[in-house]
């Protein structure tokens, strides 16, 4: 009950940001402020796109501009999750950041996030750095990629970064599923992007996709989770729209549960 009330408080206190949502548009408001430094920073990974799928148009949330698939949902998703993490854990959070995989500052941060991993086309330097980062104790969350073709792009990339490392479903008994919130079998559900919602007289309806959601992981040689894989699901959109009454609140709550568990696990293992 307390966790639900805290999530609700985050939803009501999050800042209104300009975004399109199935015909609904939020008005821009004041940007949130964060400390320049903290014990945790949300790090969004910038990466090279596959050339055939390069995202050249520059729109993201809050009318942010840039180039590449790495920036989908940025910066609202990062802002909202950072605000929620600070409230739910009392963690000392600093400003969200984004940087390339080859940036040496990456090693200063134990947790990084990459969206649209079905469209990344990491070059040899990026691939080598990703493997090194994970073997030195880093934790990667990948999110919002869909279907067999995008899965194969992700799988082949990880096989180059961590040769021989298996990708398996996260077991319900794994500590990453219980380190803060108890995530159960019923919670392995589909978290929709806004493109998967249809508005009706009684509120939003989730349009289920053909491919079932999957929650998978890669472990290091010490059996520590180093990559959390959100496949056929869109946790980032649930964070991005945490302030919207038109996004289903139970899905935002679940997305925070996964995210908080990932961060606390990364910071303590």
pLDDT at residue 50, as a whole number: 94
Residue position matching structure tokens 């990062």: 78
The predicted pLDDT at position 3 comes to 52
Q: Indicate if the pLDDT at residue 29 is higher than 70.
A: no
* pLDDT at residue 214 tops 90: yes
Kindly report, residue by residue over 105-164, the tens digit of the pLDDT.
Answer: 999 999 999 999 999 999 999 999 999 999 999 999 999 999 999 999 999 999 999 999
User: What is the pTM (predicted TM-score) of this model?
Assistant: 0.87
Cα 255 versus chain centre, distance: 9
| Predicted pLDDT of residue 202 | 64
Please write down the HEC assignment for all residues of 147-175.
Answer: HHHHHHHHHHHHHHHCCCCCEEECCCCCH
Q: Any residues with CB less than 8 A from the CB of 14 and at least 6 apart, and which? A: 80, 83, 242, 243
Residue 67's pLDDT is what? Answer: 75
**Structure tokens that stand for 101 in this block:** 């995989």
Q: How high is the pLDDT of residue 269?
A: 86
Query: What residue numbers bound the domain in which 218 lies?
Result: 2-268
DSSP string, 68-106: SGGGTTTTHHHHHHHHHHHHHH---BB--EEEETT-GGG
pLDDT at position 58 is: 61
Q: What is the CATH number of the domain that holds 105?
A: 3.40.50.12140
Domain count of the chain? 1
Supply the pLDDT for residue 11: 42
Please give the biggest Cα pair distance in the chain.
Answer: 52
DSSP letter, residue 123 = -
- Residue partners of 51: CB distance under 8 A and separation at least 6: 121
Residue 13: its pLDDT value, please?
38
pLDDT digits (tens, 9 = 90+) for 162-209: 999 999 999 999 999 999 999 999 999 989 888 777 666 666 676 666
Query: What digits encode the pLDDT tens for the residues 34-68?
Result: 999 999 999 999 999 999 978 766 656 666 656 79
- Cα 11 to Cα 244: distance, rounded to the nearest angstrom: 8
Mean pLDDT of the 92-116 span: 97
pLDDT number for residue 66: 67
Q: Which residue has the tokens 């990453």?
A: 176
pLDDT value of residue 97: 97
Q: What pLDDT score was predicted for residue 20?
A: 36
């Amino acid at each position: 009950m307390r966790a639900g009330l805290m999530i609700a408080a985050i939803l009501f206190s999050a800042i209104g940001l300009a975004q399109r949502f199935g015909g609904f548009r939020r008005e821009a408001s004041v940007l949130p402020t964060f400390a320049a430094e903290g014990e945790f920073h949300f790090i969004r990974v910038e990466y090279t796109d596959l050339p055939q799928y390069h995202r050249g148009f520059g729109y993201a949330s809050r009318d942010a501009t840039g180039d590449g698939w790495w920036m989908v949902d940025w910066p609202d998703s990062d802002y909202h999750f950072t605000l929620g993490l600070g409230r739910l854990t009392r963690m000392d959070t600093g400003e969200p950041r984004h940087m390339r995989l080859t940036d040496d500052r990456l090693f200063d941060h134990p947790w990084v996030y990459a969206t649209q991993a079905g469209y990344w086309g990491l070059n040899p330097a990026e691939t080598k750095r990703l493997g090194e980062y994970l073997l030195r104790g880093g934790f990667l969350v990948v999110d919002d990629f869909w279907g067999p073709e995008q899965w194969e792009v992700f799988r082949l990339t990880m096989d180059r970064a961590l040769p021989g490392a298996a990708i398996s479903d996260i077991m319900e008994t794994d500590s990453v599923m219980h380190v803060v919130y108890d995530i159960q079998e019923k919670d392995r559900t589909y978290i929709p992007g806004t493109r998967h919602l249809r508005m009706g007289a009684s509120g939003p309806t989730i349009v289920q996709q053909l491919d079932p959601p999957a929650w998978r992981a890669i472990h290091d040689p010490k059996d520590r989770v180093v990559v959390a894989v959100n496949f056929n699901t869109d946790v980032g959109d649930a964070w991005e729209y945490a302030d919207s009454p038109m996004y289903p609140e139970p899905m935002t709550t679940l997305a925070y549960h996964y995210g908080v568990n990932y961060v606390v696990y990364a910071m303590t293992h």
